[in-house]
A and B are shown apart, each in its own frame.
Chain A
Amino acid sequence: MRDALTFLRGPRATSFLLVIPAMALLLLLFFYPLVTLFLTTLQAENIGNYAAIVGNGTYMRVFLNTLRLAAIVTAIDLIIAYPLAFYMCRLTPTGRNVAFFLLLIPLWTSQLVRTYAWMVLLGRNGPINSALMGLGAIDGPLPLSNGEFAVVIGMVHILLPYMVLPIYSSVSKIDHNLVEASRGLGAGPISTLTRVLIPLTLHGVLAGVSLVLVLSLGVFIMPALLGGGRVPVIPLLIEQQAGSFLNWAMAGTFCVVLLVMVMMVFWLIKLITRLLVRGRIDV
């Protein structure tokens, strides 16, 4: 037993064995199909797809719409998550456990179930419209479902934990003395926020932003079920090409374009992080 442990913990060469299963799985199931996909889109009979996509105004509008939707969802999540993370840090340990539980429930339930729940909630005769009409606030039902509004609500809901958790982690590492030091040195609440708290949580914010942006670029279920066909995004184009037109090569090309967009977002945020996050902060 002891020998086995020393063997496992031992020199780098032997401990490398521990990552082999994970690496093998990733290579086989993730990296290999991805490379195959990329190479397929580059084949002579398929390479024209790239030109077709770039030359097509409708496709380009869908790309921009995807980015716009992702940006809106990310912004709303950030506005909700930032104060929430501070609030959670000030809770008692029990309160914090409850808050985490509530926050993580969305991650434990099926996306599909939650999307259907939103369809019911936002529906023409759903509880929200009934309540508003019952109160006499509106005369007829509001068109809440089947549109961008519903898609944004659904995506904000699903992706919120990905924004809260990194921000919470950065906020919880702030030494409370720093806030008192800032106040004691003459800073008001606004200066303390802009000069101390925001700079110290920036890496958490950027991590959350990159997670939510990237995930919202690839969301399929929400636009498909809550969009009512009015919210065109890249994942829908991919599904359409592969499912309806059986044009697998074109779907693959869209996949590559989406992947490139995601990588550019990552790269951009990494650049911003390097420019903005200064000093020696323990991340």
Chain B
Amino acid sequence: MNIDTRNIVLDVEKVRKTFGSVEALGSIDLCVSAGEFLTILGASGSGKTTLLRIIAGFETPDSGRIRIRGADMTWASAAERQIGMVFQNYALFPHLNVLENVMFPLEMRKVRRVAAAERARATLDAVHLGAFADRYPKQLSGGQQQRVALARAIVFEPSLLLLDEPFSALDRRLRESMQQEIKQLQTSLGLTTIFITHDQEEALVMSDRIAVMGDGAIQQLGTPNEIYYQPNSVAVATFIGESNLFEGAPDERSFRATSGAQFSLMSSTECTRMLIRPEAINLRRESSAADPKELNVFSAQVLDRSFVGGLNIYRVRISEGDEIRVHVVAREAAVYAPGEMLQLVIDPADCRPLGEKANP
């Protein structure tokens, strides 16, 4: 991805942080350009919260720089950084009503009261809360509180919007509609956004780019497609999506798993691990007219099936002995009973060698 340097809003350069003897972040580099929606995805303990707190100005790095719109903000206070932040629990001021909450950042910027109220009302309208201006936070539902938090974070037109796991307290249905709404608002206002989450689905749905964090480092940075289809390590592959992992050895343009199963690849590789996504695998009843040129055809026995609505999830064992998970779109014709013998076909393009990093 080529980045126009004039458009860089946030530039994180070699940021390190240790707490006592524990290294929370080991030299993070990250650029976010204007209007971009970047997700920092990681499990708890991956360092994503520390990175967020350093960007927001609640924590200072041991070394490295934070630049916002070209200005060095490494030592600037949170107030000086012009960052709008939505906290995980929203952090609305309980003693202020909705309008006053949204006016708060404007007041702190010495905007005159009348003008501030006008802007706050306009922003509340944008998040569909115009009618709730006089309520107190405790009188609102979780989704409404979140909209207030969002309005408060964007009303002063910050250079950067930080969202810290904002959906974790919402139920599934509400979460999906809030995701859509925030994404729409972000696109229409051109908000440069950093979104912190541990939920891979959220990350895939919303992001322009995803930074997968683990062990205090960015494991992989790329578009949702790159992260999903071309994970650069076992850690990323297993964190995002379901995966069948094989260990083995490369063998010219194929990969020989330890069980003996041989998978044809698109090109030669030196990797010792291979990933096949469960939904990239086809199952079919054995046909007499099999194409002899077809690659990666295995005979497989169904071990069990779980039906989750849109998908049938099968566990099958190929004749070489490997157990493989297969996701099949739940057409009625593709319902197979446990014990049934099937053909399992994988396109060589879907067999992904995994470049494993030095550490196991």
Chain A positions within 8 Å of B, measured between CB atoms, are: 175, 177-178, 180-188, 191, 195-196, 199-200, 277-281
Contact = CB atoms under 8 A, between A and B. Distances in A.
30 contacts: A175-B91, A177-B87, A177-B89, A181-B91, A183-B77, A183-B78, A184-B56, A184-B57, A184-B81, A184-B84, A184-B85, A185-B104, A185-B105, A185-B108, A185-B153, A186-B105, A186-B109, A188-B79, A191-B108, A195-B107, A200-B95, A278-B95, A278-B96, A278-B136, A279-B93, A279-B94, A279-B137, A280-B138, A280-B139, A281-B94
B108 A186 contact: yes
B83 interface: yes
A281 B138 CA distance: 8
Contacts of A183: 57-58, 77-79
* A interface SS class: helix
A282 to B, nearest CB: 8
Nearest to A188: B79
A183 B95 CA distance: 17
Contact of A184 (B79, B88, B97, B139): B79
Contacts of A200: 93-95
Contacts of A196: 93
Contacts of B91: 175, 177-178, 180-181
Interface in B79-128: 79, 81-85, 87-89, 91, 93-97, 104-105, 107-109
Contact of B85 (A181, A277, A279): A181
B69 to A, nearest CB: 16
Given A185-B105, A280-B139, A175 B96 contact: no
Nearest to B105: A185
Contacts of B105: 185-186
Given A180-B58, A183-B79, A185-B105, 9 more contacts: A177-B87, A178-B93, A180-B56, A184-B58, A184-B81, A195-B104, A279-B94, A279-B95, A280-B138
Contacts of A280: 94, 136-139
B138 A279 contact: yes
B360 to A, nearest CB: 38
A187 B85 CA distance: 13
A92 to B, nearest CB: 15
Instruction: List the 9 closest A-B pairs by CB distance, nearest first.
Output: A280-B138, A186-B108, A181-B91, A177-B91, A185-B105, A279-B95, A183-B78, A199-B95, A184-B78
B156 interface: yes
A175 B84 CA distance: 19
A280 B83 CA distance: 28
B152 interface: yes
Contacts of A279: 93-97, 136-138
Interface string B64-86: 00000000000001110111110
B79 A187 contact: yes
A280 B97 CA distance: 9
A97 to B, nearest CB: 24
Contacts of B138: 279-280
B89 A186 contact: no
A281 to B, nearest CB: 5
Contacts of A180: 56, 58, 78, 87, 91
